[in-house]
Amino acid sequence: MKNLWSDDEAQRFAEQFATAGAAVAARVYSSRLLGRDPSLVLHGGGNTSVKATCQDLLGRAVDVLCVKGSGWDLVDIEPPGLPAVRLDALRELQQLEQLGDEDMVNAVRGALLDSRAPNPSVEALLHAFLPHRFVDHTHANAILALTDQPDPELHVRRALGDSVLVLPWIMPGFPLAKAVAEAYAASPDCTGIVLAKHGLFTFGDTAKASYDRTIELVDGAERYLQRELGGTPAMLLGDPAPLSMSERTAALARVLPVLRGACAVVSAPGAGGSVVAGFARVVADARTEDDLAAFGMHAHAQRLCLSNPITPDHVIRTKAHYLYLAPADVADPGRVRRLVAEYEDAYRRYYEASAQRISPDHMHSPKPVVAVLAGVGVVALHHDVKGARVAADIAAHTLRVKASGDALGDYVALSDDDVAEMEYWPLEVAKLGKKQPLELAGQVALVTGAAGAIGAGIVEVLLERGACVFATDIDGERLQQLPSRFAAFGPRLVTHVADLTDAAAVEAMFAACAVRFGGVDCVVPNAGIAYVSSIEDMDQAAFARVLDVNTTATMLVLQAAARMFRLQQTGGSIVLQASKNVFAPGARFGAYSASKAAALQLGRIAALELAELSVRVNVINADAVFGDEQIPSQLWAEVGPDRMRARGIDERQLRDYYRERSLLKQPVTARHVGEAVAWFASMRTPTTGAVLPVDGGLPEAFPR
């Protein structure tokens, strides 16, 4: 393990956070160094502290403990993420023999210098009870590999010597704080404290000293593993060999919709039959690195997937056990669904045996969060992209540590009772927060024609409502405007170039969406082109091209969507973008009007055929959507000049003309169309086969 400390970088932090004080600035810097390395801490894991002096409201100097606060991550922590707690008030608690969790939280929060600060770490007392100015706590992979063994102390002694204390597993909070303080008092010359199946504590009088000690001890553990194992554990090296990368991708495209559908949580009464209408959906994050793909092929893989986590801190993110799918399972949708059901039954038994006494009225969802696919890799499933990414990161590190632990001796984790105590511990559950999910959280929407004005408006609203959006278009250059325009939504937006008139390209598009997000819930066929010509002068090839893009491509998208929905078995929605021209066509616009009328009819047929899958198919008829300066309407670029010539007006007057001819006298925007799509996607009402005009009100275009 490399020591990343840089005096120059430390000085820059001292200057940047000078108002927080030199000690806190140094603490921020060394905390970020720890946070940069995922083999030390992951996604909010670990905690750090510094003992400093602050002024209270009366201007008096007060000794404080600045310790990592809830909701902050070491990788990007700043001074507000290290709330100051009165040190004397914390240290007074050490004289108690017992202290309940609720009383501990109240006491620590009551000692905050600023009551508006985040809750200090549940291990704040441990930091306070140690005498050192700087204290670091990590969940280093190498340390966990040494301690997740039948004799946790044996390998630590061999790797790190006798100067490091080794404590057995002790529940975090007051009991652990007392135990660590007593162990240190008995051996004040120790260089660090290893907590079995939990992690490492180091300390020093400076931020650099404490950080250096962490790196030194973790490096010693890594070198020991290297000597004992002779390099990478065999089960990560590919014997038996995993699938090729192309085969892994193809397998994911087949299995993820099935797995994702099986892991959706029923959230509303069914609509009849075997398909349930209301689901709390999940999105998938798949990792297919060679070693992870190899892990699942090994003879020990299933046993290790059924073993408890490398540290119980991970259980709230991933659950204790991972679903294991052998090669034959990955290829069989029925077996995938059966194994998910068996996993749920096993979780209920675990809850009844180990967790019900802790939380008698609330069992967490029994669905798996992580699945190991033999020969393919590891998949995490969560109701949002961030949660799936966090779980996947943790799972990837977990498999590698378990492989090392298995190769070192015999991987032994905590008991179910100990893990359940952490999984249902209110202070641990509180880390997940209680943020109300957005309306379309967990949904995946596939939008075609996304680079156009209406497409971009649909994408924007769906993202705002919480959906993941797979945005496709044939125009790759225009499509690349979307990631920068909607950068705030980060990984929830993915773009993909596809020619929808090519059946193979459409299938590949749906497969790519499945690999990225796990499947599709809302399909928005929106792509279309225009062609202005009288029937008398109509070019046959141009007419055929319009039909190909506006009608045949819509059929291909509906076809691929139906197959995806059948695999998922969780219902869904299709919101087809037609046009007011379906009911109120315009002269010299025959090709477009005919093709859109045919597309609408396909949508109606799809509503009839897909109802058995609880898929709602509805149509939006929009009109006069001009777009904006960034993404103008391509259709109006084609149609506008002809319409302006016919009426002897300019572009501004053309917009006024279309606004004034409507009943509501309001301009129709791309966002209006997006709002209509989002309403259908929310599936608030049992509506299918409907046509919704978004045109400001045109009597001649009323659906009939």
pLDDT in tens, 461-480: 999 999 999 999 999 999 99
The Cβ of residue 487 has, within 10 Å, a number of other Cβ atoms equal to 9
Give pLDDT, residue 273. Answer: 31
* 75/137 Cα distance (integer angstroms): 14
Burial code (b: 16+ CB inside 10 Å, e: under 16) for 46-79 equals: bbbbbbbebeeeeeeebebbbbbbbebbbbebeb
Region of residue 569 (phi > 0: left; psi between -120 and 50: alpha; otherwise: beta): left
Active site residue 343: no
DSSP character string of 56-121: -TTS-EEEEEEEPBTT--GGG--GGGS-EEEHHHHHGGGG-S---HHHHHHHHHHTBSSTTSPPBP
Overall average pLDDT of the 214-241 stretch: 96
Number of Cα atoms under 13 Å in the Cβ half of residue 610? 30
Of the chain, the percentage scoring pLDDT greater than 70 comes to: 97
Q: For residue 125, what are the contacts with CB-CB under 8 A and spacing of at least 6?
A: 90, 93, 94, 104, 108, 173, 174, 177
* Mean pLDDT rounded to a whole number for the chain: 94
Of the chain, the percentage scoring pLDDT greater than 90 comes to: 90
pLDDT for 639 beyond 70? yes
Q: In CATH, what number does 244-430 get?
A: 3.40.225
* Confidence band of 634 (pLDDT split at 50, 70, 90): confident
305 or 275, which is more confident: 305
- Each residue's pLDDT tens digit, 150-163: 999 999 999 999 99
Region(s) of the chain under CATH 3.40.50.720: 444-694
**Is the domain covering 444-694 a CATH 3.10.450.30 domain?**
no
Q: For residue 538, what are the contacts with CB-CB under 8 A and spacing of at least 6?
A: 590, 591
pLDDT for 370 beyond 90? yes
Give pLDDT, residue 57. Answer: 85
Stated length of the chain: 704
pLDDT for 528 beyond 50? yes
Q: What fold characterizes domain 7-229?
A: L-fuculose-1-phosphate Aldolase (3.40.225)
pTM of the model: 0.94
Give pLDDT, residue 267. Answer: 64
Q: For residue 98, what are the contacts with CB-CB under 8 A and spacing of at least 6?
A: 174
Region(s) of the chain under CATH 3.40.225.10: 7-229
The dihedral sign for the CA sequence 517, 518, 522, 523 = positive
- Each residue's pLDDT tens digit, 640-694: 677 677 777 777 788 888 899 999 999 999 999 999 999 999 999 999 999 999 9
* Confidence band of 430 (pLDDT split at 50, 70, 90): confident
Give pLDDT, residue 318. Answer: 97
* Confidence band of 189 (pLDDT split at 50, 70, 90): very high
* Confidence band of 442 (pLDDT split at 50, 70, 90): very high
Give pLDDT, residue 274. Answer: 27
Give the residue among 454, 626, 610 at the shortest CA–CA distance from 525. Answer: 454
pLDDT for 266 beyond 80? no
Options 184, 322, 411, 592, the catalytic residue: 592
Tokens representing 15 are 């200057």
What are the φ/ψ torsions at residue 632 (nearest 5 degrees)?
Answer: -75, 160
- Biggest CA–CA distance in the chain, Å, is 99
- Each residue's pLDDT tens digit, 557-601: 999 999 999 999 999 999 999 999 999 998 999 999 999 999 999
pLDDT for 275 beyond 70? no
